[in-house]
Amino acid sequence: MASNKEDQKTEEIIVKQPKEASSAVSDFMEDPMAQAEDVYSKYKKPINIAATVFLLAVAAFVGWKYYITTQEQEAQAQMFQSVYYFEADSLSKALNGDGNYPGLIEIADSYGMTKAGNLAKFYSGLALLKQGKFEEAEGYLKDFSSNDYLVQARAYCLLGDINMELKKYDEAAKYYDKASDYKPNKEFTPGYLIKLGLAQEKANNLDGALETYSKILEKYPNSMAVTEAKRCKGYVEAMLGK
């Protein structure tokens, strides 16, 4: 009889264990949702604020992209006529417009955050330089920025030219050095180095000028600037008594 009672108890335990395990699993599965609801109820306000800020940020980004794209299209359309005037050497119309189309200055000032507006700064600086308005030209060229190896180096060179005209030879040398050091190439770098050497001569930095002319001969022996570099180097060496 004792054996039968023990067997009966064992069966009851075996039967009960799956139910208890199932209940534990069920409780475990339900706990995360309950916990999430509890967290949300406790931090409802900051969570809602964070969600709103995120949605506003996304909306602002999308709106900004649309705005910039629209501005870019407008700037390109308006710039076409100004560039035409610039290439025709009608600098006043290029800079100030013709009454129907805005000039480069207005485009640069109004659309400066666009690629077209940025390029208008370069054209404005170059046109003002041609007109002898050096300080104004310098302002636009300093604001211009590009990853293009040709245009950015050219902008540095123009800033050097402006400072040469203003007799700020050390400043001119600084910009010519930037031009020659910006993505060096055999087509344009030797010419920038010649200008750098001349600016260094004007600034009485004859050792620097000698080094610059030697650099042309060593690194760009096949360039069109070699003849000028040899002549300038000989002159500097004579001045230094070498």
Token pair recorded at residue 73: 């299209």
Q: What is the SS3 assignment for 139? A: helix
Please say if the pLDDT value at position 23 is more than 90. no
- Taking the C-alpha atoms of residue 213 and residue 197, their distance in angstroms, rounded to an integer, is 6
- Taking the C-alpha atoms of residue 197 and residue 173, their distance in angstroms, rounded to an integer, is 8
Calculate mean pLDDT across residues 23-33. Answer: 51
Going from N- to C-terminal start, the domains of the chain cover 22-137, 147-242
Give the model's pLDDT for residue 49. Answer: 65
User: How confident is the model over 39-54, as pLDDT tens digits?
Assistant: 556 665 665 666 565 5
Give the model's pLDDT for residue 48. Answer: 61
- Taking the C-alpha atoms of residue 206 and residue 237, their distance in angstroms, rounded to an integer, is 9
Which CATH number describes the domain made up of 147-242?
1.25.40.10
- Taking the C-alpha atoms of residue 2 and residue 144, their distance in angstroms, rounded to an integer, is 100
User: How confident is the model over 182-205, as pLDDT tens digits?
Assistant: 999 999 999 999 999 999 999 999
User: How confident is the model over 119-136, as pLDDT tens digits?
Assistant: 999 999 999 999 999 999
**Torsion-angle region of 132 (φ positive above 0: left; ψ -120 to 50: alpha; else: beta):** left
